Amino acid sequence: MSDDNDFGRERLRAALDSMDPIDREVLCLRHFEQLNNAETAAELDIEASAANKRYVRALRRLKEMLEANGLGGSALQ
């Protein structure tokens, strides 16, 4: 099981590293820093609606990348 988790983490890291910097930043702020949408918008100095759109798009792109590498959306949970 640990090897599967390590493999998933490596694929997730590779997918994040290959993303546009703004996509990666939005995802990191929302998931790893656990900021809400308003806090993410303030951090990026953009409107809350723009932060939300960027987040949804970035999450979709990440999911597509992971699915293309055989991980599926479960790696995001």
What are 64's two structure tokens? Answer: 């597509």
Sketch the domain layout of the chain as residue ranges.
2-76
Q: What pLDDT, in 10s, does the model give residues 30-60?
A: 999 999 999 999 999 999 999 999 999 999 9
From 58, 68, 67, 65, select the one nearest 29 (Cα to Cα). Answer: 58
Rounded Cα distance, 68 and 77, in Å = 17
Domain 2-76: top CATH class: mainly alpha
Rounded Cα distance, 40 and 25, in Å = 9
Look at residue 75 and tell me whether its pLDDT is greater than 60.
no
Residues in the chain: 77
Supply the pLDDT for residue 69.
77
Q: Model pTM greater than 0.75?
A: yes
Supply the pLDDT for residue 3.
66
Half-sphere exposure for 12 (CA within 13 Å, toward CB): 17
Q: What is the CB neighbour count within 10 angstroms for residue 15?
A: 21
